[in-house]
């Protein structure tokens, strides 16, 4: 299955660095496609062949077309340049479980150009998905591929679990309003202005592989009601730092051209921008509130807990946060309490039955049979 992407793939001025890999990919995976081949001016072909007679540099940026997302990977920074997705209400349904997935190297990225899990250990940065695992529930293999390190970058922990997570949920919720939603996300390295007025780009690198930590993240969203309508679009630049609930998503909305200039990429090039509408004007771009996020988090915890004691502790936290009166949460709590009560009773009864059986078996083996001598009984028990 291939995802649909409006307007083709994101293209950048540095994408030719991975051109040979791009051509090889299409030759291997899709013979029906017209190959992209570099052109030269008439009369220069022999000179170019001479220049590249010992081979041309390969790597730089590599295109990866996975089952449910497409990305371009920066071999030097060890992070994705852009990651594109297509969301629909149907594509978000499924039973895939992120607990079964593991962060690991992308088999399509050469090992010497890949980040490693150890690079993140003790770094203070989380492994941030650009294509969220929650967008690939339709298939376990789809979800597993979102854990490839080619889809991951160092992200502030609070940002990853907080504002950025709420933004990802917002993108999924858009499928209730739009038939098709396209999302492209990635890193930015933006300059700071020093006291002397000069600009400088400073960023941290982590681990033995010097994985680059972006200063900001971007997200470009396109929504379409149906095939016969124009599209709505919004672009955002988000600091890679903690953001509390006082920040509104519209605080970070910028013209698409600004993201393109900073990223060195053109997004959705086949889109008629003159006919696009402001997605935030249509939807409000309202992220979930703290109370709404608490409900989602505690609902998940209540569903996953396996003991009554743990369930009771979680419910005390719910009461302390003042959301115990939420009807759905209260119903879920009572249902889980009943289910766990039955399960634990069945487990106790099973253990009691097993112990009784063991005692009965022991009694059978220790009671001397009638008409058998003590010595003969011991011999029989030993077999």
Q: Mark whether 129 is an active-site residue.
A: yes
Quick count: other Cβ atoms within 10 Å of Cβ 21?
19
Q: What is the 3-state secondary structure (H, E, C) of the chain?
A: CCCCCCCCCCEECCHHHHHHHHHHHHHHHCCCCCCCCCCCCCCCHHHHHHHCCCCCCCCCEEEEECCCCEEEEECCCCEEEEEEEEECCCCCCCCCCHHHCCCECCCCCCHHHCCCHHHHCCCCCEEEECCCHHHCCCCHHHHHHHCEHHHEEEECHHHHHCHHHHHHHHHHHHHHCCCEEEEEEEEECCCEECCCCCEECCCCEECCCCEECCCEEEEEEEEECCCCCCEEEEEEEEECCCCCCCCCHHHHEECHHHHHHHHCEECCCCCCHHHCEEHHHHHCCCCCCHHHHHHHHHHHHHHHCCCHHHHHHHHHHHHHCCCCCCHHHHHHHHHHHHHHHHHHHHHHHHHHHHHHHHHHHHHHHHCCCCCCCHHHHHHHHHC
Distance of alpha carbon 104 from alpha carbon 115, whole angstroms: 9
Q: Which of 152, 59, 64, 69 is nearest to 113 (CA)?
A: 59
Q: Which of 130, 183, 134, 126 is nearest to 156 (CA)?
A: 126
Choice among 69, 86, 129, 216 that is catalytic: 129
As annotated, the active-site residues are: 129
């Amino acid at each position: 299955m291939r995802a649909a992407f409006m307007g083709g793939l994101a293209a950048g001025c540095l994408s030719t660095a991975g051109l040979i890999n791009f051509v090889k990919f299409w030759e291997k995976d899709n013979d029906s496609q017209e190959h992209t081949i570099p052109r030269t001016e008439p009369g220069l072909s022999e000179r170019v062949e001479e220049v590249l007679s010992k081979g041309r540099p390969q790597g730089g940026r590599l295109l990866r077309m996975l089952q449910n997302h497409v990305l371009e990977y920066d071999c030097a920074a060890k992070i994705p340049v852009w990651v594109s997705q297509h969301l629909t209400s149907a594509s978000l349904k499924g039973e895939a479980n992120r607990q079964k997935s593991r962060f690991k190297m992308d088999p399509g990225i050469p090992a010497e150009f890949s980040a490693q899990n150890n690079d993140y250990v003790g770094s203070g940065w989380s492994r941030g998905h650009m294509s969220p695992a929650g967008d690939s529930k339709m298939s376990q293999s789809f979800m597993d591929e979102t854990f490839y390190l080619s889809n991951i970058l160092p992200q502030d922990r609070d940002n990853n679990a907080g504002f950025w997570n709420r933004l990802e949920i917002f993108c999924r919720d858009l499928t209730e309003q739009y038939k098709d939603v396209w999302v492209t996300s990635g890193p930015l390295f933006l300059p700071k202005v020093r006291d002397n007025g000069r600009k400088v780009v400073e960023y941290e690198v982590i681990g033995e592989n010097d994985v680059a930590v972006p200063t900001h993240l971007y997200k470009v969203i396109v929504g379409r009601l149906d095939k016969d309508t124009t599209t709505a679009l919004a672009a955002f630049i988000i600091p890679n730092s903690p953001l509390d609930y006082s920040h509104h998503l519209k605080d970070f909305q910028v013209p698409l051209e600004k993201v393109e200039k900073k990223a060195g990429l053109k997004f959705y090039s086949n889109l008629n921008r003159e006919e696009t509408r402001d997605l935030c004007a249509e939807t409000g771009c309202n992220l979930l509130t703290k109370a709404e996020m608490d409900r989602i988090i505690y609902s998940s915890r209540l569903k996953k807990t396996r003991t009554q004691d743990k369930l009771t502790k979680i419910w005390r936290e719910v009461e302390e946060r003042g959301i115990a009166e939420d009807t759905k949460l209260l119903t879920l709590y009572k249902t889980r309490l009943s289910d766990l009560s039955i399960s634990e009773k069945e487990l106790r009864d099973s253990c009691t039955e097993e112990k009784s059986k063991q005692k009965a078996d022991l009694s059978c083996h220790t009671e001397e049979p009638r008409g058998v001598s003590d010595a003969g009984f011991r011999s029989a028990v030993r077999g």
